[in-house]
Every structure is written in structure tokens, then in C-alpha cells.
């Protein structure tokens, strides 16, 4: 792992963003918990996505569907047969690997046909041992629903959120009187029994997706694929990821998932890992609604009253991982600078988390210069006028330089210092995280001042 990646992993723990799950029991592999600051950051990522994808558009509505779905959904979707990764075991050390990943490392395009594996003569990267033949490994988690353990009650944890959208297509279209094109968006947990999870929250077995399905007339494919490709890339840049760390990658035909006729990844340059998938834009054709029509018997055709055409809508999907996005925002924002917090600093380097202001976990810190009355009281009164709108933090311990440093580290865009003059002139000092500029603002105007700085 790259030094920066490692630094961010330990920083995320130290400052309360992300912890290993069940750590006191030795941890559960590839499962993570979002701490007090992490939950705020991830909620802001989800909120920023929802705002751009649903709230600020007339053509997209939201949904929150159940994680458990009728088992037939997964037959229809093709996941029972096709949602597999090529698995190989090392005969010597018994370690499991994804065949396609091992091939990629050797610069060979993945071939998914069992039997082709030996031709490439790969050895176990850990111990050099001989490998077994490739087997298809289904990534869906199974569980039982109901008290009686029998085949009929077998149920899956959803491996993607979008199926909940497809099976509600008719409900939503009719209830909301929607005409094509329109989209349905959903944020929720998904589960995949990944063969090789890893790289912190990049690949886990439980994760959260932010997915949007845009139902269209197939003749408009190109137009809407381009529209969503553009919208998704802009979103990452608008919320602070540097342009040079993002790129598109078109999938080749032999890489396409079973449902896709075209797929484009947005990749992020994860330090130490290189460019890897962050999000996807997929043309799913009429695969999903045709299959659900066929398996459920419901007529999922759309009748266009203007052209009198009847057809199965095609789908342009945007699929983003809330956790992978949170990781990318954290990595991109993490910066180390020369000491900027004054003489009392014992550090040569200081961390500044340059998160977009709307994503920052804490928006405003309130720092009284003294722990005593009447400054403490005034500072607490000011905090109470701000916390109805934003996450705030009150900090009265340590020198002001130390307190600024603590806030810079967690990305707090504004620090409000309450000093003795504040009692007289009814003003406070507002310090900007990035420019370190300080402005004297009337306490009565503080909320309005901050309102102009944030979008939510």
C-alpha cells in the first residue's frame, strides 16, 4: 500500500472517521464501522448525491426498497447463474484468488472460460504453489427467511440496489404519472461475498450503493448515456476531486457484465493502487424489464401516447459506491503542509483535510479564548444558534493554535473565535480553513454569513 493510503487509513482511525469492525475481538475481515466523523462525512456524500440526482431535477424520483426480495428476482436478473467470479485455490498454501485479477497483474486480458487458466501457467503470488482449475464462485450471500429451514425460504442479501427499482417500475410510473424518460434513484446497502476484499473500504463485503436507473426509449440511448456520463464526472469534480485524478474507462466487450450492452467506469487514481473503478455508467438495454416481465408475468411495456409505440423501456444506469466515493474524497482532500499553527506546534508537518465545505463533517467550530464566564456562556449561546442548521463542535481546551490545528485536521471549514472584545463589540473572528484569513463578523450576522458559504 502507498504511504499516503496507509497514512489516511491510520488518520481515519485516529480522528474518528473509520474503525475496523469488532476490533476488540480481533476485527472482522473487510468490515468497517464509520465513527462520529465518518458517519457525518458519508451522510454528506449521500446527501450531495441525492441533492444533485433527485432534488435538483424534475425527471428523477427516489425510492427506498427492501434488502430482502422475492428469490425469483435473482433468477430473473441473471444473478443466480451469472453473478460469479472466477475462483482459484493454491494447492499448497490454500489461499484463494480471483483468476481475472492474477491475469491482469501479468498484463493478460481476463478470460473467464474455465480451462483457459492452465494455459497462462500462473502460480500462487504468495507461495509460488500450483493452482487448481477455475471454478465459478457465486457472490451472493444466502440466508433463511422464516423459522423452518427448508429450500422454499432461501433468501439472498441483495448484491445491488437497482433490482428494487426495476420491480417497482410500474408502481412508480403509475403513482407518479411519469412519462419517459424518467429516473428512479436509491441509496442502500448491498452485499457481495467478494473472494478478495481489501484495500480498506475500497472493496468490502457489505457496502452502500447510490444508484440511479433512467428509463428511456431505446432510440435515445446515446443522448442519455452521454448526459449521465457527463453528470457523474461533473459531480465528483464539483465536490472537490482533482480533475487529474479522475478518468473514464470504456469496458471491452469481453469484460461486460451479463446485463450490460455498454459500460463505462469513472476511475480514481487511488494512491498506490493506480486508477481503479469509482463508479459506473451502464447501458443495460431492455435486459432487466424484459426478464422481469418474463419471470413475473407482469406487462412492463411502456405505451407512448404521443407516438402510439409500445415497447420495453431501456435503462441507462449510474452506479456509485458511497464507501468508495467517501474513500476517494478523503484521499483527495488529505494534505500535509508546513507548520501553520504558530510557535507552540511541535509538528513539522500538519494535516489539513481540504474537503469540499458541504462534505466536511463539522461545519463550524466555536472556540472561546477563555474557559471562564462570561466568554464560555457567550460561545455556548452562539453555538446554540448554529447547531440547528449545521454540525458544530465546541472546543475550549489548549491554545488557539492547537485548536485550529485540530479543526484543520478534520476539515472544518470555519472556526469562530470568541474573545474578550466580543463582549464589547458583539463581534467574533471567523477563520477560513484554506486561506487562514480571519474576518470580524457581527454575532447577529454570523448565521447569515455562514448560510452564504454552504449549499446544505
Is residue 324 a contact point for ligand ATP (CB under 6 A)? yes
In the complex, the smallest distance separating the C-beta of residue 192 from ligand ATP, rounded to whole angstroms, is: 5
Choose one: 61-69, 181-189, 316-324, 380-388; the region binding ligand ATP (CB under 6 A). 316-324
In the complex, the smallest distance separating the C-beta of residue 154 from ligand ATP, rounded to whole angstroms, is: 22
In the complex, the smallest distance separating the C-beta of residue 357 from ligand ATP, rounded to whole angstroms, is: 24
DSSP 216-242: E-GGGHHHHHHHHHHHHHHHHHHTT--
**What is the C-alpha to C-alpha distance for residues 263 and 279, in angstroms, rounded to an integer?**
10
Is residue 207 a contact point for ligand ATP (CB under 6 A)? yes
Whichever of 332 and 419 has its CB closer to ligand ATP, that residue is 332
Helix axes 322-333, 3-14, angle to 10 degrees: 100
Is residue 317 a contact point for ligand ATP (CB under 6 A)? no
CA 194 to chain centre: 17
Choose one: 6-14, 318-326, 386-394, 435-443; the region binding ligand ATP (CB under 6 A). 318-326
Whichever of 89 and 277 has its CB closer to ligand ATP, that residue is 277
DSSP 367-435: EES-SSTTHHHHHHHHHHHHTTTS-EEE--SS-HHHHHHHHHHHT-SEEEEE-HHHHHH-EEEEEETTT
Whichever of 195 and 391 has its CB closer to ligand ATP, that residue is 195
Is residue 350 a contact point for ligand ATP (CB under 6 A)? no
**What is the C-alpha to C-alpha distance for residues 131 and 414, in angstroms, rounded to an integer?**
56
In the complex, the smallest distance separating the C-beta of residue 278 from ligand ATP, rounded to whole angstroms, is: 6
Residue from 279, 352, 375, 430 in contact with ligand ATP (CB under 6 A): 279
**What is the C-alpha to C-alpha distance for residues 78 and 314, in angstroms, rounded to an integer?**
17
Residue from 321, 361, 368, 413 in contact with ligand ATP (CB under 6 A): 321
In the complex, the smallest distance separating the C-beta of residue 107 from ligand ATP, rounded to whole angstroms, is: 18
List binders of ligand ATP among 185-204 (CB under 6 A): 192, 194, 203-204
Is residue 285 a contact point for ligand ATP (CB under 6 A)? no
Distances (CA, A) of 212 to 169, 174, 295: 13, 18, 23
Whichever of 204 and 213 has its CB closer to ligand ATP, that residue is 204
Is residue 79 a contact point for ligand ATP (CB under 6 A)? no
Whichever of 209 and 393 has its CB closer to ligand ATP, that residue is 209
Is residue 319 a contact point for ligand ATP (CB under 6 A)? yes
Using an 8 Å Cβ cutoff, are 149 and 169 in contact?
no
In the complex, the smallest distance separating the C-beta of residue 86 from ligand ATP, rounded to whole angstroms, is: 13
Cell 431535477, residue located: 57
Choose one: 57-65, 177-185, 319-327, 371-379; the region binding ligand ATP (CB under 6 A). 319-327
CA angle 267, 214, 48 (to 5 degrees): 55
Strand order in the sheet with 135-138: 96-98, 84-89, 135-138
Counting Cβ atoms within 10 Å, is residue 119 exposed (0-12), middle (13-18) or buried (19+)? exposed
| Residue nearest ligand ATP, CB atom distance | 321
Whichever of 185 and 367 has its CB closer to ligand ATP, that residue is 185
Which residues does 364 contact at the CB level (< 8 Å), separation at least 6? 386, 390, 392, 393, 412, 413, 414, 415, 416, 450
- Direct distance between the N- and C-terminal alpha carbons of the chain, in angstroms, rounded to an integer: 35
Is residue 178 a contact point for ligand ATP (CB under 6 A)? no
Binding site for ligand ATP (CB under 6 A): 192, 194, 203-204, 207, 209, 277-280, 319-321, 323-324
Amino acid at each position: 500500500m502507498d504511504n499516503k493510503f496507509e497514512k489516511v487509513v491510520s488518520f481515519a482511525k485516529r480522528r474518528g472517521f473509520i474503525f475496523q469492525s469488532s476490533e476488540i475481538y480481533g476485527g472482522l475481515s473487510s468490515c468497517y464501522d464509520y465513527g462520529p466523523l465518518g458517519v457525518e462525512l458519508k451522510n454528506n456524500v449521500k446527501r450531495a448525491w441525492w441533492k444533485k440526482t433527485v432534488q435538483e431535477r424534475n425527471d428523477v424520483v427516489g425510492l427506498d426498497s427492501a434488502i430482502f426480495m422475492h428469490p425469483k428476482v435473482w433468477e430473473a436478473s441473471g444473478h443466480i447463474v451469472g453473478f460469479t467470479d472466477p475462483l482459484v485455490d493454491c494447492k499448497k498454501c490454500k489461499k484463494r484468488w480471483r483468476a481475472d485479477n492474477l491475469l491482469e497483474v501479468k498484463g493478460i486480458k481476463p478470460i473467464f472460460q474455465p480451462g483457459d487458466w492452465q494455459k497462462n501457467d500462473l502460480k500462487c503470488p504468495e507461495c509460488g504453489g500450483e493452482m487448481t482449475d477455475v471454478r465459478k464462485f457465486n457472490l451472493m450471500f444466502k440466508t433463511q427467511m422464516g423459522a423452518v429451514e427448508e429450500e422454499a425460504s432461501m433468501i439472498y442479501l441483495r448484491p445491488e440496489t437497482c433490482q428494487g427499482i426495476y420491480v417497482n417500475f410500474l408502481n412508480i410510473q403509475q403513482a407518479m404519472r411519469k412519462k419517459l424518460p424518467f429516473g428512479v434513484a436509491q441509496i442502500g446497502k448491498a452485499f457481495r461475498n467478494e473472494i478478495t476484499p481489501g484495500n480498506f473500504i475500497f472493496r468490502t463485503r457489505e457496502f452502500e450503493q447510490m444508484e440511479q436507473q433512467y428509463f428511456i426509449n431505446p432510440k435515445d440511448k446515446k443522448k442519455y448515456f452521454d448526459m449521465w456520463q457527463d453528470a457523474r464526472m461533473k459531480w465528483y469534480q464539483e465536490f472537490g476531486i482533482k480533475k487529474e485524478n479522475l478518468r473514464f474507462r470504456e469496458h471491452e466487450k469481453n469484460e461486460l457484465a451479463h446485463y450490460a450492452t455498454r459500460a463505462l467506469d469513472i476511475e480514481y487514481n487511488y494512491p498506490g493502487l493506480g486508477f481503479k473503478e469509482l463508479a459506473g455508467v451502464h447501458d443495460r438495454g431492455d435486459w432487466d424489464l424484459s426478464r422481469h416481465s418474463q419471470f413475473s408475468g407482469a406487462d412492463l411495456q411502456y405505451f407512448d401516447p404521443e407516438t402510439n409505440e409500445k415497447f420495453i423501456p431501456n435503462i441507462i444506469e449510474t452506479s456509485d459506491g458511497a464507501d468508495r466515493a467517501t474513500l476517494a474524497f478523503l484521499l483527495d482532500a488529505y494534505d500535509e503542509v508546513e507548520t501553520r499553527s504558530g510557535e507552540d506546534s511541535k509538528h513539522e508537518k500538519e494535516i489539513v483535510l481540504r474537503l469540499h465545505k458541504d462534505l466536511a463533517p463539522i461545519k463550524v467550530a466555536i472556540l472561546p479564548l477563555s474557559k471562564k464566564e462570561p466568554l464560555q456562556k457567550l460561545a455556548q449561546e452562539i453555538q446554540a444558534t448554529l447547531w440547528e442548521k449545521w454540525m458544530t463542535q465546541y472546543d475550549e481546551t489548549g491554545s488557539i493554535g492547537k485548536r485550529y490545528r485540530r479543526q484543520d485536521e478534520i476539515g472544518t471549514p470555519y472556526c469562530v473565535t470568541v474573545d474578550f472584545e466580543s463582549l464589547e463589540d458583539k463581534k467574533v473572528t471567523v477563520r477560513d480553513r484554506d486561506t487562514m484569513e480571519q474576518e470580524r463578523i457581527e454575532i447577529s450576522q454570523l448565521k447569515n454569513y455562514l448560510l452564504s458559504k454552504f449549499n446544505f
